[in-house]
């Protein structure tokens, strides 16, 4: 039964490729010039605003960004994403200067698992094997046995020795989904992403009534009742591949709205409906949206703010990240 909560008096947002003028603003041009002058690479998450995606050297998901950060020979990595992503870049390539345009660009999921609480839990349960979703602080990574992203979580959990009991932190929704895919029981840390849990079964069912043939593509951070309605549950990178390979011309996308820029740029002939939440037809992550073109330009000019981690923290958090990269070749 679908209740009318007033949502459908506000129209659904449909994204299609706009005709491209190819014109960049003065700030964007200056960013491109400074990148070249300083031998800097701009790594950008799929949720960033379009004008930032337009000047990036690489746009992708957490896994792709970690791989790029590990392999770059640029002197400076400018990271347009959130804090834990920039930290991961620093851990993987610590001799580089890693910049984040706004150091307050955090993550509710990362905040839901403070390192001291994880440490305490581990001290009471010393035999657990900790699999940490990359959306966590460097200090939490240092307490973990292996890291995973939404793009490789199933593959990683499948490789944990059978005789080990797993604690999965910090996202209970991703953890639940991984359990359903691997049939492996895990203890789940009770964290979640404030933006992805806003999609509801009711709001997606209503959207499907309007677009009955459009496949629903959901991020695994969505709640189970929403994931159950999806034709595909996957990382942001795999969303691009899924929509490319599927014959449908229209898709309902359940993730942060920055994703629409990447999808419309790569698949200009297709249309994407931003899955409505319980309250509206937009779903911006307030942390991802803290980076702006002006902050990015200032950050390149001043080479700050910079990600700064102690050598010990880098050493201890690198081990589980490296294990993830080795296990997901
Ligand atoms: P992806 O790695 O799938 O891009 O997800 C990152 C994220 O923060 C999702 O909210
Ligand atoms: Fe964190 Fe959610 Fe924002 Fe992703 S969308 S960065 S999980 S708060």
For residue range 256-311, list pLDDT tens digits in order: 999 999 999 999 999 999 999 877 767 899 999 999 999 999 999 999 999 999 99
Task: Choose the residue to mutate in 111, 195, 199, 259 for probing ligand 2, maximizing ligand atoms within 8 Å of C-beta.
Answer: 195
Task: Starting from the CA of residue 285, give the closest ligand.
Answer: 2
Both tokens of 210, joined, read: 């309007």
Neighbours of 2 (CB within 10 A): 12
Q: Ligand 2 in contact with 287 (CB < 6 A)?
A: yes
Cis peptide before 223 (omega within 30 of 0): no
Residue closest via CA to ligand 1's atom 3 equals 235
Q: What is the pTM of this model?
A: 0.94
Task: Identify the bridge partners of residue 216 per DSSP, sorted by sequence position.
Answer: 252
Task: Starting from the CA of residue 259, give the closest ligand.
Answer: 1
Task: Starting from the CA of residue 291, give the closest ligand.
Answer: 2
Residue closest via CA to ligand 2's atom 6 equals 107
pLDDT of residue 1: 42
Residue 2 banded pLDDT, cuts 50, 70, 90: very low
Q: What are phi and psi of 15, to 5 degrees?
A: -110, 130
Ligand 1 centroid from CA 30, angstroms: 29
* Strands laid side by side in the 271-274 sheet: 13-15, 271-274, 250-254, 216-218, 232-233
- The answer on pLDDT for 87 being more than 60 is yes
Ligand 1 centroid from CA 197, angstroms: 14
Non-local CB neighbours of 270 within 8 Å, separated by 6+ positions: 16, 243, 248, 249, 250, 251, 263, 264
Q: Ligand 1 in contact with 257 (CB < 6 A)?
A: no
CA–CA gap between residue 190 and residue 172 (Å, rounded): 5
Task: Choose the residue to mutate in 219, 232, 258, 290 for probing ligand 1, maximizing ligand atoms within 8 Å of C-beta.
Answer: 219
What does pLDDT average to over the chain? Answer: 95
Q: Ligand 1 in contact with 171 (CB < 6 A)?
A: no
- The answer on pLDDT for 3 being more than 50 is no
Q: Which residues of 189-204 are buried (b: 16+ CB within 10 A; e: fewer)?
A: bebbbebbbbbbbbbb
pLDDT of residue 279: 73
Tens-digit pLDDT profile for residues 223-236: 999 999 999 999 99
206-222 average pLDDT score: 96
pLDDT of residue 329: 81
Ligand 2 centroid from CA 47, angstroms: 9
Residue closest via CA to ligand 2's atom 1 equals 107
Neighbours of 12 (CB within 10 A): 16
Neighbours of 59 (CB within 10 A): 26
Task: Choose the residue to mutate in 53, 58, 62 for probing ligand 1, maximizing ligand atoms within 8 Å of C-beta.
Answer: 62
Burial of 120 (0-12, 13-18, 19+ CB in 10 A): exposed
Q: Which of 284, 262, 239, 272 is nearest to 59 (CA)?
A: 262
Non-local CB neighbours of 195 within 8 Å, separated by 6+ positions: 108, 256, 283, 284, 285, 286
Ligand 1 centroid from CA 295, angstroms: 22
**Residues 114-122: contacts with CB under 8 Å, at least 24 apart:** 114/140, 115/139, 115/140, 115/142, 115/143, 118/143, 118/169, 118/189, 119/143, 121/167, 122/167
Q: What angle do CA 91, 96, 99 make, to 5 degrees?
A: 85
């Amino acid at each position: 039964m679908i209740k009318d909560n007033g949502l459908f008096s506000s129209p659904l947002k449909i994204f299609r490729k706009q005709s491209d003028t190819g014109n960049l603003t003065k700030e964007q041009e200056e960013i491109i010039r400074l990148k070249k002058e300083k031998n800097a690479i701009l790594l950008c998450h799929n949720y960033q605003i379009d004008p930032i995606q337009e000047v990036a050297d690489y746009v992708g998901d957490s896994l792709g960004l970690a791989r790029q950060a590990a392999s770059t020979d640029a002197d400076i990595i400018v990271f347009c994403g959130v804090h834990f992503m920039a930290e991961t870049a620093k851990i993987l390539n610590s001799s580089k200067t890693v910049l984040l345009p706004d150091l307050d660009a955090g993550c509710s999921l990362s905040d839901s698992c403070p390192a001291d609480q994880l440490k305490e839990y581990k001290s009471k349960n010393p035999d657990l094997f900790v699999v940490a979703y990359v959306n966590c602080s460097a200090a939490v990574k240092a307490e973990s046995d292996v890291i995973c992203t939404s793009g490789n979580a199933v593959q990683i959990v499948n490789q944990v020795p059978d005789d080990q009991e797993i604690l999965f932190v910090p996202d209970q929704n991703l953890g639940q989904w991984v359990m359903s895919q691997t049939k492996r029981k895990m203890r789940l840390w009770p964290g979640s992403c404030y933006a992805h849990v806003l999609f509801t079964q009711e709001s997606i069912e209503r959207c499907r009534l309007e677009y009955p043939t459009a496949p629903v593509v959901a991020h695994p951070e969505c709640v189970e009742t929403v994931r159950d309605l999806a034709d595909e549950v996957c990382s942001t990178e795999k969303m691009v591949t899924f929509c490319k390979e599927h014959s449908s011309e229209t898709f309902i996308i359940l993730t942060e709205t920055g994703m629409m820029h990447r999808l419309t740029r790569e698949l200009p002939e297709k249309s994407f409906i931003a899955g409505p939440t319980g309250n509206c037809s937009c779903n911006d992550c307030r942390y991802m949206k803290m980076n702006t073109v002006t902050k990015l330009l200032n950050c390149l000019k001043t080479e700050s703010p910079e990600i700064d981690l102690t050598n010990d923290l880098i050493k201890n958090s690198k081990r589980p990240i490296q294990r993830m990269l080795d296990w997901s070749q």
